[in-house]
Amino acid sequence: MATTYEAIATVTVGSGGAASIDFSSIPATYTDLVVKLSARAVDGGDTFANVKITFNGSTSGYTNIRLQGSGSAASSGSDGTDSIFQKYGTNGSNTTANTFGNLEIYIPNYASSNYKSTSSDSVSENNATEAWAVLNAGLWSNTAAITSIKLELLYTTIRNFVQYSSATLYGIKNS
pLDDT digits (tens, 9 = 90+) for 68-105: 787 788 888 887 666 666 666 666 667 777 878 889 99
**Residue 20 clears pLDDT 90, i.e. is over it:** yes
Q: What is the reported pLDDT for 101? A: 84
In order of start, what are the domains of the chain with their CATH numbers?
Answer: 3-174 (2.60.120)
From the list 158, 148, 125, 133, the residue with the least C-alpha distance to 58 is: 148
Q: Which residue has the higher pLDDT, 44 or 25?
A: 25
Q: What is the DSSP string of 25-37?
A: S--S-SSEEEEEE
**Region of poorest pLDDT, from 67-71, 82-86, 123-127, 150-154:** 82-86
Q: What is the reported pLDDT for 44? A: 61
As a whole number of angstroms, the distance between CA 88 and CA 91 comes to 10
Cβ–Cβ < 8 Å for 4, 170: no
As a whole number of angstroms, the distance between CA 174 and CA 115 comes to 21
